[in-house]
Each structure stands twice: as structure tokens, then as C-alpha cells.
Amino acid sequence: MDNAIVVTYELACKDAEEAQMAAVAIAYEQTVELPVDFPLNEEITTRIIGVIRQVRQIGDGLYAAEIAYAAEITGGQIPQLLNVLYGNISIKNNIKLTGVEFPAQFLDNFKGPNYGIEGVRALTGVYGRPLLATALKPMGASPSELAAIAYAFAAGGGDIVKDDHGLVDHSFCGFKDRVIRCIEAVERAADKTGRRCLYFPNVLAEVGVIERQVEFALSHGAPGILISPYIVGLDTVRSLAVRYPIAIMAHPALTGTNFQAPRHGITPSVLLGTLFRLAGADICVYPNVGGRFSFTLDECSRLNKALRGGLGGLRPSFPAPAGGMSLANIAEMAALYGPDTIYLIGGALHGYDKDLSLGSRVFMDKIRGFFSERVETPAANSNAAVSSCDINAGSVNHVSVPKIHMAFNEDFRWDGVTPKVYKTGGQLDFKAVTRHELIGTNEEGADFDLRYFQIEEGGFSSLEKHVHVHVIICVRGKGTLHCNGIAYTLRPLDVAYVPPLHVHQLSNDGKDGPFGFFCIVNHLRDKPLRP
């Protein structure tokens, strides 16, 4: 099997034969979802079902099975990848997902982190040592109280301050107010220190609201956000990373159900490491060895490697161990984790002294003692220089620059816009219609497209319906909109609206020359159907 995703599962089985059978059952369950004795044709057997690469004993009653899945069955998308890796078998015991390797071609579907380790460093201007981060808390504090904490931490030389992951758009502490005040606080501290402390607000909200919060954060100067990928969905994170030039710090909330059963779940290195990075996490927060949660040192090391090591062309991500760190063990942490690490320190830092700025300075001095710090001028946020090609571009590769001004010419043409045939393909009837694509084909990043259509005398558009709506502005001549059996005469600058699934058609039944109108539609929309 070419172009295969190779997955390692640890299987608790009584002997090698049982392990082999268990591996085959997984290869069927995660693809065709049928018993292994179900009769299937050869194409499905060879192309769809997972292939057992090897099954080897790794402990007492413990086997490692390598299964190769055709990358094709994931559809190149994260939700189905999760489903193939562990969807149904998550409900079975004695199967632990411990490793995954992707072919280069599969990884090409993904952009990964926007910043990565180097990019986050460039935002701070700090090289050569671990970064120091803390969280704003507690829930219930007011925006100005949280901003005061942000200021003290930044003034003491801290590098990144993030919201606690439970701070949302609360009635008692609104998202926007918090963002504005905390940004102002870290900028004020920067004026004093000459250093830049990054503020990452927590974005945990409903579908649609998440995007608005990211836009708000970006446009108010926050270079990144904190998000909980397992709660909002990994693909939501990917979608944000692709649409916005934002740094993403991923929080492990709700992932812990994977880590508690000894023979079950997805290991931290695969889930928080490889998969979070694939989705676009620039920084991955995880419970450090020795903290109040409980990863082992081995787990932490494997996770760090998954974040920083090779993964196609994807940028390396910063590990951000949280918990279990104090002034006493910074030396040990430095030796174990190296410089490309973010120390996320809460309790030990806040508990050092009532003056957080002092605590931050003391921790930072301690960190500096083990590394050779190098400081440069911090880079500006990407959004300061963003063009429409970077924002909202669904595709990583394709870029074409939209025009700012399209002058109108008297014959109803626009500079740089070539009229096209109204429709190609499909089986819908129409006559004497041309189409001018004004907005929507050049990565403008709008949620809508603007087109101009012109219908000559005696012509008509196709009779059709669809879920998306039309908004029409007549600008030339006179014509008729037929909508669910009612005819509306349209004259210049009349506006019309076609509701979802209303059967409609536009026609030019007169002798007054061409009928021309703008038509605005959603950028993402369903295809027209016959009535």
C-alpha cells in the first residue's frame, strides 16, 4: 500500500495469536466496519482495509501492532482521520493508540502552525532560553483586576500571559473588555521594560462566536489565542489557523479521558503532540511531570519530541509544560527540556511574593542563569501586515490578489473583469445571459460573492431553487423576477431578495434593451436544483 498512514496500537492480549486476530479485527472495524469473515470484493480488500505491517510482543501480555491505512480513506481531513485512527475502537478496551506516521502527500493537506517555535520567539524577540508564561485567574475577577496581573507579570519580564482556560465571555467579565484592558496592560509594561509580553485571550465559545472573538483579538493587537481543541473540535482549530494569521496555544481540557485507563486511549504524544500540531497549535500546554496532574517524565519527553521533531514541512510547536515547576527545580527542567520550552507557571509564581512582578523577575533570573539569552526587536503581529490573501484563504497554496478599484465602463463592463457564459455544465435551461465575476474569485476573504448578470431581450436565467439566498440589485433596463409563482418587476436600483428554497427565475420580456443586475450570494453555497 503506497501513501499509507502507519498507526501503532498497543494490544493487551494473552498470546501472539490473539494479538494478530485483534489487529485484523481493528483493521476491519476502522475501515469497512464488518466482521473479518464478511465476503468482500478484491478492490475493497486491497484498497480499503487496513494492512497489518507487524505484530510484536513488547511486554507481558502486551503487543504492538502496526496497521497501515490508505491515506485516501481519511479524505485528507482531520475529523475522518480521528475516526479512522480511533473512532469506533475507542469504545473497546485493551487497545491503546501509541504512534502514528503520515506520508508526505497526506501532510501536504495541512498548513500546521502559523508561527511555530521560531515565529513565537520572533513575536517576543527572545532567543536562547525557555519562555516564561502564566495564566490570568481566578474566574470571577474583573477585567481590570486581571489586567493588573498581566501588567505585573509583564513588568517583571514575563514573556506570555494567557487567560485561564475557563475565562469566557462572562456576564461578570466580558471577553472584549478583558482583551482591551489586558492588551493595554502588556503594552504599557512594554513601554517600561522595552520587552514585549504577549497576551493570549481564551477563545471558548459557540460556533460563529469563536471566529468573531478571534477577529476581535487580532484586530486589537493580540498576536494569539488560547483554545481547547478537544472541546471545540480539532478541525475548528485547523480552520482558525488557516483563516487567521494567529498564534494558537492549545489547552488539554477534556482530553484526559484518553490517559487514565492503562490499556486504553490515545497517548499524549499522539493526541496533544502530533494531532494538535497537525491542526495548527503553535504551543501545546500539558500537565508536567510532578504537577497536580500526572504525566510521567517519559510521556513528557515523547510529547516534546512529537511537538518539536520532523512532521513533513510543518513548523515545530512549543511544548508548554504546566505545573510541577518551582524555583527549586528550574535547573532540572532546564537540563531535561532544553531551551525550546515554555514554562507555564501559576501557583509557584503567584505564591512567591504578593508582588507578582518581583516573582516574575526572580523566576526569569533563575531561568537566565541556565541559558544564554539573546534579545532582538520583537516582530510585529502578522495581522499588521496582513493582506486579504492571508486572511480567510481556504487554500494554502493558491493566492491571487483582489483589486481595490474596478472602474465601470459605459458599456456595462468593469476594468479587468471578463464577461463569461452564464452557466456551464448542468442541465438547467437558460438563454442570452452573461455573467461578470466582480468579487469572490480572487481570495477577497469575504463571506459573499458579487456578480453582475445581464439578460438580453427575450432571455432568461434558469428556473431553479437552492438553500442559499439571492440579493439582487437591478442596475440596467427592466426585467422580471419570478419567485414562487409571483412576478416582480425590477427597475434600476430596486432591491430584491430570494428566500431559501424559493423557486425563481429572472427574465427580460421587454423591448427596452438589456436587463442587468448585481446578484450577491454567500461565498459558500449549495448548487442550484431544478424545482
The yes or no reply on residue 400 touching a second copy (CB under 8 A) is no
- Grid cell in block for residue 455: 439578460
Least Å from the CB of residue 212 to a second copy: 6
| Cα–Cα distance measured from residue 275 to residue 465, given in angstroms and rounded to the nearest whole number | 40
In sequence order, which residues have a C-beta less than 8 Å from that of residue 283 and are 6 or more positions away?
120, 160, 224, 247, 248, 249, 250, 317, 318, 320, 342
The yes or no reply on residue 386 touching a second copy (CB under 8 A) is yes
- Can you tell me which of 155, 330, 450, 455 binds a second copy, judged by CB under 8 A? 450
The yes or no reply on residue 481 touching a second copy (CB under 8 A) is yes
3-state secondary structure of 217: helix
| Cα–Cα distance measured from residue 353 to residue 189, given in angstroms and rounded to the nearest whole number | 19
The yes or no reply on residue 387 touching a second copy (CB under 8 A) is yes
In sequence order, which residues have a C-beta less than 8 Å from that of residue 480 and are 6 or more positions away?
487, 488, 489, 490, 506, 507, 508, 509
| Cα–Cα distance measured from residue 493 to residue 177, given in angstroms and rounded to the nearest whole number | 41
Residue of 13, 474, 483, 519 marked catalytic: 519
The yes or no reply on residue 418 touching a second copy (CB under 8 A) is no
The residues in 289-318 that bind a second copy, with binding defined as CB under 8 A, are: 293-294
> Where does 154-308 show beta strands of DSSP type E?
160-163, 198-200, 224-227, 247-250, 264-266, 283-287
The yes or no reply on residue 3 touching a second copy (CB under 8 A) is no
The residues in 192-231 that bind a second copy, with binding defined as CB under 8 A, are: 204-209, 211-212, 215-216, 218-220, 228, 231
| Cα–Cα distance measured from residue 184 to residue 164, given in angstroms and rounded to the nearest whole number | 18
**Which residue type occupies 234?**
L
The residues in 266-285 that bind a second copy, with binding defined as CB under 8 A, are: 266
The residues in 488-527 that bind a second copy, with binding defined as CB under 8 A, are: 488, 490-501, 518, 520, 522-527
| Cα–Cα distance measured from residue 114 to residue 249, given in angstroms and rounded to the nearest whole number | 11
Is the Cα dihedral 227, 146, 340, 193 positive or negative?
Answer: positive
Kindly tell me which of 370 and 488 has the beta carbon lying closer to a second copy: 488
Quick check: is 182 catalytic? no
The yes or no reply on residue 448 touching a second copy (CB under 8 A) is yes
The yes or no reply on residue 466 touching a second copy (CB under 8 A) is yes
The residues in 85-114 that bind a second copy, with binding defined as CB under 8 A, are: 86-93
The yes or no reply on residue 68 touching a second copy (CB under 8 A) is no
Kindly tell me which of 160 and 271 has the beta carbon lying closer to a second copy: 271
List the x/- string, 123-162, binding to a second copy by CB under 8 A: ------------x-xxxxx---------------------
- Active site amino acids: 519
